[in-house]
Structure 1
Amino acid sequence: MESIPRLLVLAFGLCAGAAQAREAGDHHLQLGLVHVNTLDSSTPLRTQLRPSLLGGVLGIDSDFVSEGTAARVGSSETLLFIYSYYFTDRWSLKLEGGIPARFDIAGEGVVRPTGIAGSVISVDLGAPVNNPLASATQWSPVAMLQYSFGRPRDAVRPYVGVGLTYTWFTDVELDEDFDAALNDQFGRALALAAGKPGATRARADASPSFAPAFNAGIAMSLSERWNVSASVSYLMLSTESTIDILAADGARLARSRTALDLNPLAMSVLVGYRFRL
């Protein structure tokens, strides 16, 4: 991301004397790079177990919280595509999409049941061999109302926007080592206690949600139709992440979940083209 300031300096130099009117009736296409950092936080993992001999014999609670556990989401880069329509000289409707970002999810702390079995049945979320715990693809199309400052033919026009996104996740995949640790250290004991001995499997998921989106940036003209811009967007995005351990017959033996505030901060550099139909 160190190249972004250099690109902006170059763009300011190129736009000197250029004027591009962005007026009512204009269509505007933009394509560029976006770097996403998550300002994330999460609650400790809460685990719910299928009723079994573990509770009655070993004193393990069927519902427990593993204090000190947390999930962390890494950064990502991808391509961003934006279409805007100016219905006045200052106001426009903006639709954002592009290639969905892929994120790695890391963990910390130990999931350990209550009772005497807690010293034997446990999974270390922070162990290097288990990280990243999982990865997921995030889809976050945004519809936004944008206001551009200045006059239509100003070479430089700052802008702000506010809108809404609906986010969902696909290809949520557990790391192979973490998957094996869950099944070997946790799943087999749960299956045996539930009267379903044998191999187990784990699966992960994340809930979809609506979230407000905020944007601020600056657009700089290169010619009558071409421009470059830089912007920062913030999404107040939350999700519930779950991991299930399933017996061979598909019965759910355990579910661990955490409320995860992602709050992604996206910084982008874009090239734009203005036209009329």
Structure 2
Amino acid sequence: MKSVKTLLGLAAASALLTAGSAQAQSAGTLSARIGATTIRPAVSSGDLSAPSLAGTKVDIGNATQVSGGLSYMWTDNIAIDLPLAIPFKHEVRGAGAIDGTGKLADVQALPVTLTAQYRFGLPSSSLRPYLGAGFTYAAFIKPKSTAALSGLTGGSPSNPTLMTMENRWGPTLQLGFTAKFSGQWSLDATATKVLLKTKGHLSTGQDIDVELNPLAFSIGLVYTF
């Protein structure tokens, strides 16, 4: 909720600063941006398969990373958008029957998203809200398990329990705006929701289904060519 209020505040502030001489976002223009993104998973965990304590679940923490992206105006109102970022590092923690056990693993998530956006207003408008829809491919790389996970699953220092997560596709929705404050520069802010399920696997042969359904908030400085 705090992030939503921040986005709204930025929108209002940017609208006051924008100028009528702003560079038009018309068909054929390309924009590049740089900023930051926070990913907040809305986790719904299944139970770890046997042998395990009944109700053994996991939770996954938030992550923030430097991000950017490219947008191409296909028409005066339709843009094709490709966000770019380096991997986001998330903590996997115990939940349910093992709540309080702390961090079980770290995993890096690399989401690759492509959306089509409808941008409201005229190409020369200073403030252009937009709606977007597309798909995200989430790759989970470089998992690193902890001693706590080995302790729960019978691993040892010489034979630790290892964890992997399946890469998955998910439908994606966006809500955002661009607000211009000079000829070629603008501010972009976006809230993105991805409907995403995955499955975690342990080297013990156990697995667990997890709904991640993350909500991401991005803000960036944009240059239009």
TM-score over 0.5 (shorter chain): yes
Q: Does residue 104 of the first structure (1) align with residue 54 of the second (2)? A: no
Aligned mate of 1:260, from 210, 216, 220 = 210
Contact 2:20–2:125 (CA<8 Å) still a contact in 1? Answer: no
Amino acid in the other structure paired with 1:149: F
Q: Report the Cα offset of residue 100 of structure 1.
A: 1.6
- Contact 2:147–2:160 under 8 Å retained in 1: no
Distance 1:238 1:272 in 2: 32
Deviating 4+ runs (over 6 angstroms): none
Question: Which residue identity is paired with 2:14?
Answer: A
SS at match of 1:232: strand
User: 112, 135, 141: which one pairs with 1:164?
Assistant: 135
Query: One-letter code of the match for 1:93?
Result: I
Counterpart contact for 1:30–1:273, Cα < 8 Å = yes
Of the structure 1 ranges 168-177 and 84-93, higher mean CA displacement relative to structure 2 is found in 168-177
Return closer, same or farther for 1:109/1:93 CA change in 2, 3 Å cut-off: closer
The corresponding residue for 1:201 is 160
AA matched with 1:202: T
Change (3 A) 1:214 1:140: same
Contact 2:93 2:103 survives alignment (8 Å): yes
1:135 CA drift (Å): 0.9
Q: CA deviation at 1:35?
A: 1.5
Given that 1:182 and 1:202 are in contact with CA atoms closer than 8 Å, whether structure 2 keeps it comes out as no
Which residue identity is paired with 1:137? Q
The answer as to whether partners of 1:86 and 1:93 remain within 8 angstroms in 2 is yes
* Match 1:69 to one of 39, 44, 56: 56
Cα offset, 1:200, TM superposition: 2.9
Query: Who is 1:139 aligned against?
Result: 110
When Rg is computed on C-alpha atoms for both structures, the one with the higher figure is 1
Pick the aligned partner of 1:152 from 123, 130, 134: 123
1:1-277 alignment to 2 at 5 Å?
Answer: 7-47=10-50, 66-110=53-97, 125-127=98-100, 130-179=101-150, 181-182=151-152, 186-187=154-155, 199-245=158-204, 255-275=205-225
Contact 2:103–2:148 (8 Å) recurs in 1:
no
Work out the percentage of aligned pairs sharing the same amino acid.
Answer: 26
Secondary structure of 1:202's match?
Answer: coil
Alignment CA distance shift 1:187-1:271 (3 Å): closer
CA distance in 1 between counterparts of 2:158 and 2:216 reads 42
1:156–1:7: structure 2 CA closer, same or farther, 3 Å change rule? closer
Structure 1: gaps of 5 or more residues: 48-63, 111-124, 189-197, 246-254
**How many Å apart are 1:224 and its aligned residue?**
1.7
What secondary structure, in the 3-state scheme, does the structure 2 residue paired with 1:201 have?
Answer: coil
What does residue 53 of structure 1 align with? Answer: none
- Name the CA distance, whole Å, in 1 between partners of 2:195 and 2:79: 22
Question: Which amino acid is the alignment partner of residue 203 of structure 2?
Answer: D
**Contact (CA 8 Å) 2:21, 2:182: kept in 1 or not?**
yes
Check whether the contact 2:30–2:73 (CA below 8 A) recurs between aligned residues: yes
Change in Cα spacing, 1:187 to 1:267, as seen in structure 2 (3 Å) is closer
Please state whether the residue corresponding to 2:202 is helix, strand or coil: strand
**Count of equivalent residues:** 222
1:13 match: secondary structure: helix
Query: In structure 1, how many angstroms separate the alpha carbons of the residues matched to 2:158 and 2:90?
Result: 29
Pairwise CA RMSD: 2.1
